[in-house]
């Protein structure tokens, strides 16, 4: 039977899964919304992946990345649990070995990875502010009554993008309301928003970084043509957007799962496993640590969050 | 701040007869109190120290002592005194440093006020022991940082060090102190480690409070040790009190291509250290500061330039009372992966 490697990227907004074969071709992939419940999202995701398989495949490695990597790693018994920066770099260099800059804008965070000879040279990640991320765009789309999928397309129709004071999402929203109230066209406002995401990203994440071509743009926001257009306008370079740009993290972690294969076969059947976490506040000292206890099939397996290490 | 409560308590308990209230270790409660009564955009150490002072008052302290430094730290005492008095606490508040100057005559008068039996001879004697104790502590810490990432049995370094600090509290003479130090130094050097020939080496620079108080930097050093890094850190109390003034000229000369003037607090020092780390072949640098720390904000673009020139990666962290711990972990993990990849090249 064929050997396969599963990569799962659990982000704040969406959960991505991909199965690679031994030659690193994509066998199948899936993309669903996380909706604040990573455990359920991953169960659904694995179910979908399994349904879509044309032939049976034996999973010899599972990797998890993204903000819920640790929890899901425990749940699916992953052999690799890695941060999304490394996963994205490895996934992208697999398809574009000579890439020098990766621009990545996801739902909650945005990052920039600089590479040289296929290895990470430097990286940056947004710190406190969400003004250059996908959730900012989607909340503004909702306010304007536009479907987020049409957002980029609409932006391209604008001839005169509005300048929006988007240093911070909260102020951007008030400026946006103001611009709408004085009668600017919707597409001009949308184009202005896309441009402000680009400028914010470059000023915030890209501060002091040398951006060299080839440039690959990925993450959920890379599906937005408006943002891509303004990136290439501002940077004066071609921007590559892969059709699988949203899957790069999952592909990267699947590659790592292959690299660190431990010979153990894993199953995709987690649907029947009950997996839950119970949080409580420890009262033993004034630190009040939030202790998370994790149960698999009602059996306690691990606990996180204790600062002193004495409480579980 | 860190383990420095030990020498501070040692000195005070020998030179004055008043009862000394030991501050509780910093917890989330301390920060909650501190943030509640602080101006919102003040640098974070202000909130930590205000929280500690108020906790001290709540456990019965009547006299508070605060120091000052070459940045906003110089205004801490006045502002904290005002806030505490406004809250209705009755206490005496003493400020060791005024207008950036340490006036020993004034401090002497102040100490006489606190304790009329205060004797200058005792200060000279126990002061010199304390100075030595600081030196010993800092040199042990220096050794531990280089080796703790490779200990075979987890926690063995911390255990021996805690024992040493406990013994330090009870010494009476220079001779006793030296004996304790030598005993534990040997014990620490004999802790079995498994260190690869060429480990990943990382330097920590940044604003002094955040660097020295582990709670405020989310136990950065401990996390780095668990990732098997060899760690180097420059800022410690010995440096700040006894070495800094001698080093300033030398540092300025070393980095004359980047900096012409002093920049307040430790900003200039940190640039010189970054250059030093780059030249000594360190794999990466982590710069940490509390949010809104102005001197270090000024140093950051220059640090970026220095690291670009030497092609050494640098990671910046700004710690606030609301920083998410998970975010720090992700960035540190990625930093580790990157350094490892670069090293293999």
Same domain, B187 and B94: no
Same domain, B215 and B345: yes
Would you call A208 and B341 a contact, using CB atoms and an 8 Å cutoff?
no
Same domain, B337 and B202: yes
| Whole-angstrom distance, CA of residue A171 vs CA of residue A177 | 10
Residue B48: count other Cβ atoms within 10 Å of its Cβ.
24
pLDDT digits (tens, 9 = 90+) for B57-95: 998 888 888 887 778 888 888 899 999 999 999 998 888
Give the CATH number for residue B225: 3.40.50.11900
Query: Does residue B11 sit within a domain?
Result: no
- In this prediction, residue A299 carries a pLDDT of 84
Parent domain of B244: 197-345
Domain-terminating residue out of B117, B152, B177: B117
Give the CATH number for residue B68: 3.40.50
> What is the average pLDDT across B309-326?
85
Q: How is residue B266 written in tokens?
A: 């430790």
Same domain, B92 and B63: yes
Residues of A in contact with B30 (CB under 8 A): 286
Residue B202 banded pLDDT, cuts 50, 70, 90: very high
Same domain, B155 and B104: no
Same domain, B187 and B205: no
pLDDT digits (tens, 9 = 90+) for A102-132: 999 987 788 899 998 888 888 888 766 666 6
Torsion of CA B211, B217, B220, B221, to 10 degrees: 40
Query: Does residue B6 sit within a domain?
Result: no
Residue in chain B lying closest to A122 (CA): B313
Residue in chain A lying closest to B337 (CA): A86
Of B29, B326, B345, the CB nearest to A286: B29
Question: Does pLDDT of B165 surpass 70?
Answer: yes
* Number of domains into which chain B is organized: 3
Query: Does residue B4 sit within a domain?
Result: no
- Mean of pLDDT over chain B: 89
- Domain ranges across chain A: 2-89+250-259, 97-241, 275-304
- In this prediction, residue A131 carries a pLDDT of 64
> What is the average pLDDT across A196-225?
87
Higher pLDDT, A222 or B344: A222
- Mean of pLDDT over chain A: 86
* Shortest Cα–Cα distance, A91 to chain B (Å): 15
Same domain, B244 and B340: yes
DSSP string, B44-111: HHHHHHHHHHHHHHHTT--EEEE---SSTHHHHHHHHHHHHHHTT---EEEES-BTTB--HHHHHHHH
Would you call B333 and A121 a contact, using CB atoms and an 8 Å cutoff?
no
> What is the average pLDDT across A144-148?
84
* Shortest Cα–Cα distance, A176 to chain B (Å): 27
Would you call A120 and B29 a contact, using CB atoms and an 8 Å cutoff?
no
Share of chain B above pLDDT 70, in %: 99
Question: Does pLDDT of B114 surpass 80?
Answer: yes
Q: How is residue A281 written in tokens?
A: 């506040």
What is A97-241's CATH superfamily?
ATPase, nucleotide binding domain (3.30.420.40)
- In this prediction, residue B19 carries a pLDDT of 87
Same domain, B220 and B331: yes
Same domain, B202 and B184: no
Is A287's Cβ below 8 Å from some Cβ in B? yes
Residue A285 banded pLDDT, cuts 50, 70, 90: confident
Would you call A83 and B341 a contact, using CB atoms and an 8 Å cutoff?
no
For the domain spanning A2-89+250-259, the CATH number is 3.30.420.40
* Shortest Cα–Cα distance, A127 to chain B (Å): 8
The ipTM of this complex is 0.81
- In this prediction, residue A167 carries a pLDDT of 66
- Tell me the CA distances in angstroms from B279 to A121, A130, A297, B81, B282, one per residue in order: 18, 37, 54, 44, 8
Is residue A87 within 8 A of residue A253, CB to CB? The reply is: yes
Domain-terminating residue out of B144, B160, B195: B195
- In this prediction, residue A271 carries a pLDDT of 66
Would you call A287 and B29 a contact, using CB atoms and an 8 Å cutoff?
yes
Residue in chain A lying closest to B303 (CA): A208
Same domain, B223 and B325: yes
Query: Does residue B65 sit within a domain?
Result: yes
Question: Does pLDDT of B15 surpass 80?
Answer: yes
| Total CB pairs under 8 A between chain A and B | 56
Residues of A in contact with B308 (CB under 8 A): 208
Which range, A275-279, B115-119, B127-131, B340-344, has the best average confidence (pLDDT)? B127-131
Same domain, B141 and B92: no
Same domain, B226 and B318: yes
Residue in chain A lying closest to B323 (CA): A128
H or E segment to which residue A250 belongs:
helix A248-259
> What is the average pLDDT across B285-299?
91
Torsion of CA A150, A152, A157, A162, to 10 degrees: 120
- In this prediction, residue A295 carries a pLDDT of 87
- In this prediction, residue A127 carries a pLDDT of 65
> Which range is least confidently modeled, A203-212, B30-39, B263-272, B317-326?
B317-326
Domain-terminating residue out of B88, B117, B146: B117
């Amino acid at each position: 039977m064929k050997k396969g490697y599963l990569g799962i990227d659990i982000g704040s907004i969406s959960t991505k899964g991909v199965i690679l074969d031994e030659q690193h071709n994509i066998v199948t992939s899936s993309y669903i919304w996380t909706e604040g419940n990573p455990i359920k999202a991953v169960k659904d995701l694995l179910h979908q992946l399994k349904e879509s398989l044309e032939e049976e495949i034996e999973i010899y490695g599972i990797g998890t990345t993204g903000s819920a990597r640790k929890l899901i790693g425990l749940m699916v018994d992953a052999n690799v649990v890695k941060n999304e920066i490394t996963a994205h770099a490895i996934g992208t260099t697999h398809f574009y070995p000579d890439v020098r800059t990766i621009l990545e804008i996801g739902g909650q965070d945005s990052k920039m990875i600089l590479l040289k000879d296929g290895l990470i040279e430097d990286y940056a990640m947004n710190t406190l502010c969400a003004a250059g991320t996908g959730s900012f765009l989607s909340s503004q789309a909702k306010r304007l009554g536009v479907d987020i999928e049409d957002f980029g397309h609409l932006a391209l129709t604008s001839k005169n993008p509005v300048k929006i004071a988007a240093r911070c999402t909260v102020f951007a929203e008030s400026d946006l309301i103001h611009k709408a109230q004085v009668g600017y066209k919707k597409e001009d406002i949308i184009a202005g928003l896309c441009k402000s995401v680009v400028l914010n990203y470059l000023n915030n994440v890209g501060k002091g970084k040398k951006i060299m071509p080839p440039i690959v743009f990925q993450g959920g926001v890379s599906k937005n043509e408006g943002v891509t257009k303004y990136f290439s306008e501002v940077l004066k370079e071609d921007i590559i957007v892969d059709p699988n740009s949203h899957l790069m993290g999952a592909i990267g972690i699947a590659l790592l799962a292959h690299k660190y294969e431990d010979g153990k076969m894993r199953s995709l059947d987690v649907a029947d496993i009950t997996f839950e976490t119970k949080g409580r506040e420890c009262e033993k000292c004034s630190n009040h640590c939030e202790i998370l206890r994790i149960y698999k099939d009602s059996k306690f397996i691990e606990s996180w969050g204790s600062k002193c290490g004495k409480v579980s | 701040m860190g383990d420095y409560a030990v020498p501070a308590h040692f000195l005070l308990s020998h030179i004055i007869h008043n009862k000394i209230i030991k501050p509780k270790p910093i917890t989330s409660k301390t920060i909650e109190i501190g943030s509640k009564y602080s101006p919102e955009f003040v640098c974070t150490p202000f909130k930590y120290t205000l929280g500690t002072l108020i906790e001290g008052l709540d456990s019965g302290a009547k006299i508070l002592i605060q120091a000052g430094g070459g940045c906003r730290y110089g205004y801490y005492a006045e502002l904290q005194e005002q806030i505490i008095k406004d809250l209705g606490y009755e206490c005496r508040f003493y400020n060791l440093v005024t207008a950036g100057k340490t006036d020993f005559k004034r401090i002497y008068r102040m100490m006489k006020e606190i304790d009329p039996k205060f004797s200058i001879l005792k200060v000279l004697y126990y002061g010199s022991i304390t100075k030595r104790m600081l030196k010993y502590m800092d040199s042990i810490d220096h050794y531990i940082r280089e080796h703790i990432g490779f200990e075979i049995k987890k926690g063995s370094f911390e255990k021996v060090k805690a024992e040493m600090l406990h013994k330090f509290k009870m010494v009476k003479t220079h001779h006793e102190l030296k004996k304790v130090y030598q005993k534990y130094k040997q014990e620490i050097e004999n802790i079995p480690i498994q260190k690869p020939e060429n480990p990943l080496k990382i330097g920590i620079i940044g604003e002094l409070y955040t660097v020295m108080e582990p709670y405020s930097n989310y136990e950065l050093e401990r996390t780095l040790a668990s990732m098997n890094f060899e760690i180097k850190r420059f800022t410690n109390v010995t440096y700040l009190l006894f070495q800094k003034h001698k080093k300033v000229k030398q540092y300025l000369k070393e980095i004359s291509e980047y900096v012409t003037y002093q920049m307040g607090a430790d900003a200039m020092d940190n640039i010189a250290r970054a250059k030093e780390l780059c030249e000594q072949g360190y794999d990466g640098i982590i710069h940490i500061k509390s949010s809104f720390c102005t001197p270090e904000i000024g140093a950051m673009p220059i640090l970026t330039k220095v690291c670009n020139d030497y092609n050494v990666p640098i990671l910046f962290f700004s710690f606030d009372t609301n920083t998410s711990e998970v975010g720090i972990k992700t960035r540190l993990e990625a930093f580790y992966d990157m350094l490892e990849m670069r090293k293999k090249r």
